[in-house]
Amino acid sequence: MERVRNNEEKGEEDVAMSAQQRGGGCNYGDALYWDARYLEEGGTAFDWYQRYAALRPFVRKFVPTSSCVLMVGCGSALMSEDMVKDGYVEIMNIDVSSIVIEMMRRKYVSVRQLKYMQMDVRDMSFFSDESFDCVIDKGTLDSLMCGPDAPLSAAQMIQEVNRLLKPDGIFILITYGDPSVRFHHMNQEGCCWKIILYIIPRPGFQVRPGSSSRKSFTEPVPLTEKGQLPAGFIPEDPDSHYIYICKKLPHGFIQPLVQL
């Protein structure tokens, strides 16, 4: 998994290698792994994949600042803080690691708009149905896909996200996975989504001078009737991030449904 290091003093970015490039071998769904990792990092802020500045056009377009937002797998990221600075008034942050949650609670004790709870995204039964207007995931689903029983973990997460969203609520999924490896996870029993896809390059990627893609990052990517990228479509950055804007549709469908 790629991450962007936030150095609050120097403002520098350090993009680490993906888990696959490092050889994997880590159970990213295990709280003990994350506890040890956050203890080692000592509370240093990290934003996985993208900073809020890059995601702001999508968040502001689909999520009103008055929304009740759930940030899953928050880690030590600055994104929630940046959203509060941008006017968002209520963000619940959860993470499987009790270590990072306690760190973040102490850090933001005086920021009333931010709350933190230790919780597994696969079981968020603490929250009642239809509690949130928006759920944001920046890398958590990808983490589960690196662990054991990945399909089951993904299904549990998506079903919980669907349960917690209000009707017409928005799920923003930021992932390495293109539609060929993500849409079937969204297509869970009882889940009905209308999905818009955006693709943006990873931080630091140099777009070729004069490239038309520079202007298209904030434009939705057309998908085929089967929910796949058009034939021959290749992102300029092979390690691009896929942003799925998933609107929860009304109940009443017998079969799972994904609309484009």
pLDDT in tens, 41-98: 988 999 999 999 999 999 999 999 999 999 999 999 999 999 999 999 999 999 999 9
Helix 150-164 with 179-186: angle, nearest 10 deg: 60
Domain coordinates in residue numbering, the chain: 3-259
Instruction: Note the pLDDT tens digit of each residue in 180-234.
Output: 999 999 988 889 999 999 999 999 898 777 665 545 788 999 888 888 898 988 8
pLDDT at residue 259, rounded to an integer: 58
Fold of 3-259: Rossmann fold (3.40.50)
pLDDT at residue 255, rounded to an integer: 46
Provide the CB-side half-sphere exposure for 214 (13 A, CA): 8
pTM: 0.87
Band (pLDDT 50/70/90 cuts) for residue 3 is: very low
Residue type, 237: D
DSSP state of 85: H
Q: Sheet containing 257-259: which strands, arranged edge to edge?
A: 114-118, 90-95, 68-72, 132-138, 165-175, 241-248, 192-200, 257-259
Q: Which of 79, 232, 101, 253 is nearest to 162 (CA)?
A: 253
pLDDT at residue 232, rounded to an integer: 87
CA distance 101 to 39: 12
pLDDT at residue 237, rounded to an integer: 92
The label of the residue with tokens 């484009």 reads 260
pLDDT at residue 148, rounded to an integer: 82
DSSP, collapsed to helix, strand or coil, labels residue 196 as strand
Checking if the pLDDT of 6 tops 90, the result is: no
Q: Which of 224, 222, 143, 226 is nearest to 177 (CA)?
A: 143
Secondary structure (H, E, C), 100-146:
HHHHHHHHCCCCCCEEEEECECCECCCCCCCCEEEEEEECHHHHHHC
